[in-house]
Structure 1
Amino acid sequence: MIIYGASGHAKVIIDIIKLMDGHSIDFVLDDDPKVKNLLGFEVKHQLTDDMKDEKLVLAIGNNLIRHKLANKLQQGYCSALIHASAVISENVNINEGSVVMANAVINSSTVIGKHCIINSGAIVEHDVKMEDFVHISPGSTVTGNVNIGKGTQIGAGATIIPGLQIGKWVTVGAGAVVLEDIPDFAVVVGNPAKIIKFNRIEDE
Structure 2
Amino acid sequence: MYLFGASGHGKVIADIAAASGIEIKAFIDHDISKTECYGFPVLKAIPDNTDHLVISIGNNLTRKKIAEQINKEIGTLIHPKSVISGSVKIEEGTVIMGGVVINSDTAIGKHCIINTNASVDHDCVIEDFAHISPNSALAGGVEVGEGSQIGIGASVIQGIKIGKWCVIGAGAVIINDIPDYSVVVGNPGRIIKKNII
TM-score (norm 1): 0.94
Aligned position for 2:46: 47
Q: For the residues of structure 2 that align with 1:84 and 1:187, how far apart are their CA atoms?
A: 33
Q: For the residues of structure 1 that align with 2:149 and 2:159, how far apart are their CA atoms?
A: 18
Aligned pair partner of 2:136 in 125, 140, 152:
140
Matches within 5 A, 1:103-122: 103-122=99-118
Greater mean deviation of Cα atoms: 69-78 or 114-123: 69-78
Q: Post-superposition shift, 1:54?
A: 2.3
Matches within 5 A, 1:41-120: 41-48=40-47, 50-51=48-49, 53-78=50-75, 80-120=76-116
Q: Post-superposition shift, 1:89?
A: 0.7
Aligned position for 2:12: 12
Question: Gapped runs of 5+ residues in structure 1?
Answer: none
Helix, strand or coil: the match of 1:42? strand
Matches within 5 A, 1:173-184: 173-184=169-180
Q: For the residues of structure 2 that align with 1:47 and 1:91, how far apart are their CA atoms?
A: 34
Q: CA RMSD in A?
A: 0.9
1:135-185: per-residue Cα shift (whole Å, max 9, x none)? 000000011001111000000000000001110001100000000000000
Helix, strand or coil: the match of 2:17? helix
Aligned position for 1:3: 3
1:74-100: per-residue Cα shift (whole Å, max 9, x none)? 22201x211111111111111111000
Q: Post-superposition shift, 1:26?
A: 1.6
Q: Post-superposition shift, 1:47?
A: 2.3
Aligned pair partner of 2:158 in 162, 166, 178:
162
Q: Which runs of 4+ in 1 moved over 4 A?
A: none
Aligned position for 1:30: 29
Question: Gapped runs of 5+ residues in structure 2?
Answer: none
Matched, 1:171 2:167: yes
Percent of pairs identical after alignment? Answer: 51
Read off the aligned partner of 1:171 and give its amino acid letter: V
Q: For the residues of structure 1 that align with 2:124 and 2:177, how far apart are their CA atoms?
A: 14
